[in-house]
Amino acid sequence: MIPVTPSSILAALALGASVATALALGASVATAQELPTIPDVAHASKLFEFADIPYKVDTDTHLARGPQAGYNICNSTTEGPTSMCQTMHFNGIDDFCLWGPPEMGQTVGDVEGSMVAWCTKPGHGTRLIPAGALHGVQWIRTPDYIQVVGFIDQTKINVLADDDGGEMDPHGADLRGNPMGGLVYTNAWSGSPQQVIEWHNFLGAQKFCFKACDPRGEFDDRYCEHILDRIGCDYNVPNNARNGTFESCDGDNQDFPGVYTDENGQVQTYSQPESDIWPVPYTPRTPASSNCVTYTSASLYSALPSATTSAAGSTETSEGASTRIVTRSSGTVSTPSRTGTETGSGNPRETADNAEASEEAGAARRVAIPGALVLSLLISPLLFA
């Protein structure tokens, strides 16, 4: 008979715990590695009449980046500083939206998958860009796209002050878009909300640009290229916007992003390297603009709320004045019974890392019983021999 001593019991407990931990880690790693990343239908292939927007466009909850952070049915019940609306409008200099973080504290690159709509005009069920945040805006309408470029106090839409930013577009490496589930609509070409299939938005370094390409055009995917994410507004959306000026203009089409004519008159195509991108070997051509109308900020954005910054760095709003494939349906808009608060505001981003963490936790729970069994098997002979 093996004598039972406190030290032998402790040794058995330690061994059992080690085995259980090893099993949990092995199961969690295996589970995380098995998570798929690509949806059955790419986000850019999901088309909806405005009246038929679903509550959530991205219904893939089993993929590596996790579920869509917000929702797409947005109205008066969702509008406000905590809105998680991911349906934006892009209509004119006085009525456009940008993608911005739902909370302060992470870089654009880290939170791009769960960006929400921040708009210049009430009535879309979104967050509102606080008064005074926009320091200059240029709106341009061309034959093939509309675009806005401007200067912004990015901290007022939850972007870190020193963040150089990044790009949002309807594609992404996993074809789920950034943000996941993000929709863009405009009345610029039809007089009523029409879905924009190809678009890109750069935000960071106190500057922003957003281009929405006409879906009727032959080259909407070329003008709204989505693979040059590291060279920003100056190369993807060449412009002559000026800080302190608010203007709306007509304009010529730009060259396709990344396409340029060199000093020998030869047309070249730039490929973004994986290493350091600077210096970029060309200067983009800025298209001519005409028929510009200048405004004051107050005349454009008088309905925006004022903003104060809390100690935690999040933006709070109060009432007041003053950059970086296809499904179709039709129907009638109805008031949703669900509101913005239903999605919660727990984790502001759903990335592959977070998804893997959730799976690891689930795997650990699944191996808890086997770990206990191993422990009991190790201790039993000591207690009952």
Rounded to 10°, the helix 352-366/6-34 angle is 140
Per-residue pLDDT at 313: 39
Per-residue pLDDT at 41: 98
Q: List residues bridging with 124 in a β-sheet.
A: none
Q: List residues bridging with 293 in a β-sheet.
A: 248
**Could you tell me which of 98, 96, 77 has the C-alpha nearest to residue 86?**
98
Question: What is the rounded distance in angstroms from the CA atom of residue 200 to the CA atom of residue 166?
Answer: 10
DSSP state of 28: H
Strand, coil or helix: 222:
helix
Question: What is the rounded distance in angstroms from the CA atom of residue 189 to the CA atom of residue 213?
Answer: 10
- Please report where in the chains the tokens 């505001």 appear, as a residue: 345
∠ CA 84-347-169, nearest 5°, is 55
Per-residue pLDDT at 308: 53
Question: What is the rounded distance in angstroms from the CA atom of residue 148 to the CA atom of residue 163?
Answer: 20
Question: What is the rounded distance in angstroms from the CA atom of residue 202 to the CA atom of residue 191?
Answer: 26
Per-residue pLDDT at 16: 55
Question: What is the rounded distance in angstroms from the CA atom of residue 336 to the CA atom of residue 72?
Answer: 11
Strand, coil or helix: 307:
strand
DSSP β-ladder status, 127-128 and 116-119: parallel
Per-residue pLDDT of the chain (385 residues; tens, 9 = 90+): 555 565 555 555 455 555 455 445 454 444 446 899 999 999 999 999 999 999 999 999 999 999 999 999 999 999 999 999 999 999 999 999 999 999 999 999 999 999 999 999 999 999 999 999 999 999 999 999 999 999 999 999 999 999 999 999 999 999 999 999 999 999 999 999 999 999 999 999 999 999 999 999 999 999 999 999 999 999 999 999 999 999 999 999 999 999 999 999 999 999 999 999 999 999 999 999 999 999 999 999 999 999 754 333 333 333 333 322 333 233 332 333 333 333 333 332 333 333 333 333 333 333 333 444 434 444 444 444 4
Per-residue pLDDT at 11: 54
- Provide φ and ψ at 308, rounded to 5°: -130, 155
Q: Count Cβ atoms within 10 A of the Cβ of residue 334 and give its class: 0-12 exposed, 13-18 middle, 19 or more buried.
A: exposed
Angular region, 183: left φ>0, alpha ψ -120 to 50, beta rest? beta
**Is the pTM here over 0.85, yes or no?**
no
Structure tokens at 212: 């929405």
DSSP β-ladder status, 183-186 and 207-213: unpaired
Question: What is the rounded distance in angstroms from the CA atom of residue 304 to the CA atom of residue 119?
Answer: 9
DSSP β-ladder status, 315-318 and 306-309: antiparallel
